[in-house]
Structure 1
Amino acid sequence: MNQKNLEFLVDQIKYTGFGETLTPALKEQMEKGEKEFTIAHEASFGSGTLSSELSFKKSDQSELYFFNSYKAALQKEGASHALEQIFYVSKDNTFTMKEAFNLLEGRAVNKDLRNKEGEMYNCWTKLNFTDSESNGNFKMNQYHQNYGYDLEAAVSKHSIKELETPKFKEDLLNSLKKGNLQSVTFVVSGVESKMYIEANPHFKTVNVYDANRQRINHRESKAEKQQQGEDKSVSREQKNNVEGVEGQEERKSNKQSHSI
């Protein structure tokens, strides 16, 4: 067994989000010297359990092993079957285990990826559960920079307390980019309430959930307040214009009556 190869794989597994608990199993499998092997991992989240199967393959030219991919299966509470997706491991285009969970949960993840030409690009990625690849994987919808989704602007439309502190704001945006359903504090008419938000690049907004994680349409966003104010201002102006015209017509009519 190649010790440096083991150390490299240990780090790779760790930074893909699976921690260091798989090291003994990895070492045992590598010492066997088999051509291919898999290692199982399980993580529990509030809404379900993510079971992963990490795949390793030995090089045809050397004794080195490579961590090529992992199959993630999310079993949600109350669901009849698990959602599965194979995530491939490479230098630049690897989704972490938590990002895989968030994608299978139906949320979008923001990543810097490399295309076939070797160029880096940034995009939001979301699984399309209604369309599959030939290998059974769900297709990935991508929303590139030119799509025009501004996460910070979308979040700023809501009265969120964390936005008032630069460090908390930065942490919030970074968490949303990883695809997390993030807890925040809404402040409406001076009253604080716990909410959850997630990025929604498709509609260029954020989804809002109540303390029980039930989707709501929050009507206290800054943009909505501003729009309501503008609408009222326009309505008052239109009313004044109409009243002014009617007054002129009435005075004109009275003048003509007196003339007759």
Structure 2
Amino acid sequence: MTALQAFLLGIIQGLTEFLPVSSSGHLEIGHELLGVEGHNNLLFAVVVHGATVLSTLVVFRKDILSLLKGLFAFQWNEETRYVSYLLLSAIPVGVLGVLFKDQVEALFTGNLVFVGAMLLVTALLLSFTYFAKSREKKIGWLDALIIGVAQAMAVMPGISRSGSTIATGLLLGKKREDMARFSFLMVLIPILGANFLDIVGGEISAESSIGVLPLAVGFVAAFVSGLLACSWMIKIVKKGKLIYFAAYCLLIGLIAIFAG
């Protein structure tokens, strides 16, 4: 992988991790267009995902510090309850990742037709939000679990994680701002958990096909673009502009299907 390829893939990861257009689907398309060999390189995936986690921590630093302060008060307060919702939402994708890891990884084969079809599913989900009416309901236990299932379904390349979780929350009648916050915070647990298991399990110890420079370039590109996309996406959700991303996913999905 060259530094230029790492730069482009880092930007794709950073932007599409937060925008509701599927980072996994766009990375699959990006790998095909750039002709990147060994695109299942786990080390690069861990690095760019770490960059987007860092961008999330920066954008939501005040919220995270507030949650940690409430959590370590060791009382059943609003912050502890919220963290519990986040943990509950991570269970479905955790179960899927542990029990069906090989089956999930088998989906990432550069099959553009499959990716395109899943992008159409994302477009459909985002379209539904156009008709959703916010009832200002707070997130509860059942909501957290349902949204967590939506996140688990987004392991398929082409289904947007942020798109599916935010759309599900809006369809459940949750406040737009609350759903943007919950959607971006809930991803921290599974990404950090998956990266930790990969490192501890030694699955990236043999990775040597990527040099230090491409990794550094990919990290910086993913972090900066992720920082911008995360802040931008919060404003987009508040204004209810997700229908435009539905049109985008529909277009890219159809192109991917016909190109495949």
* Same-fold status (TM-score > 0.5): no
Considering only CA atoms, is the larger Rg found in Structure 1 or Structure 2? 1
Bigger strand fraction = 1
Q: Could you tell me the TM-score, scaled by structure 1's length?
A: 0.21
Bigger helix fraction = 2
Q: Could you tell me the TM-score, scaled by structure 2's length?
A: 0.21
- Which structure is higher in RCO with an 8 Å CA cutoff and minimum separation 6? 2
